[in-house]
Amino acid sequence: MAQFQTERSIGGVRSAQVDEGLRAHMNKVYGTMSVGLLVTAGVAWAVGSSEALLSIFRDPITLQPNILGWVAMFLPLIMVFAFGAMINKLTAAGAQLFFYVFAAAMGLSISWIFVAFTGISIAQTFLITAIAFAGLSLWGYTTKKDISGWGSFLIMGVIGLIVASIVNIFLQSPAIYFAVSAIGVLIFAALTAYDTQKIKNVYLQHAHAMDSEWLGKSAIMGALNLYLDFINLFMFLLQFLGNRE
């Protein structure tokens, strides 16, 4: 009996340590993501509110991208793939720096929204996105339902969205544009819950190792995934909720 109580006590201590570590891990994920969003918002506003800066990448009237504009548009996508390929070679500090540079590149690529939409509608859409994201992420963190099976379906959906968006750059079809935006909202809403649960489960699976370097990079990868969910959810919602200038 005494031996059982001792083992239970030890198990309780270990469980408490894991819970405390998980909270710290998730706080780092959300904190890193939040700083990334601030970097993106700052760069987007600085470029979008300056006609001189915006004209380097787009026509200030038609908002059509020039060569540099096309580079800025696809740079974040290229950086995401590069980050995935390089993550094992980077230190945690290097991965964090890369993430913030990526966030700045994303801000550059979406800076045009400050000309296309009113500032009030951008702020309102951001607030709605933040509320929706918080609710979806909380559900993903707390639900007992295993939603890991959503992964392959959602990744296929994202690939389809990217292809359809690129094709519609040339077709300029309002019907495709509407369909992509509607499906995009659903996919990235689901991805928010899925990625949150995945971040939690990955930590719990590796908590026993307590490799601080790995945990640091894992938190940054988690922040990147949730950051992408938030930005894409915001951009797709903006197509429906934004008031054009």
Reply yes or no on whether the pLDDT at 32 is more than 90: yes
Question: What b-and-e string marks burial along 200-226, b requiring 16 or more CB atoms within 10 Å of the CB?
Answer: beebeeebeeeeeeebbbbbbbbbbbb
Please tell me the predicted confidence (pLDDT) of residue 205. Answer: 83
Q: How far is CA 59 from CA 52, 75, 105, 167, 183, in A?
A: 10, 19, 19, 21, 29
Question: What b-and-e string marks burial along 137-148, b requiring 16 or more CB atoms within 10 Å of the CB?
Answer: beebeeeeeebe
pLDDT tens by residue, 50-97: 999 999 999 878 888 999 999 999 999 999 999 988 888 889 899 999
Q: Could you tell me the two tokens for 169?
A: 């750059």
**pTM given for the model:** 0.89
Q: How far is CA 239 from CA 4, 211, 242, in A?
A: 60, 42, 6
Which one, of 10, 12, 14, 18, lies nearest residue 201 by Cα?
Answer: 18
pLDDT tens by residue, 175-234: 888 999 999 999 999 999 999 999 999 898 877 666 677 788 899 999 999 999 999 999
Domain ranges of the chain: 2-241
Please tell me the predicted confidence (pLDDT) of residue 9. Answer: 38
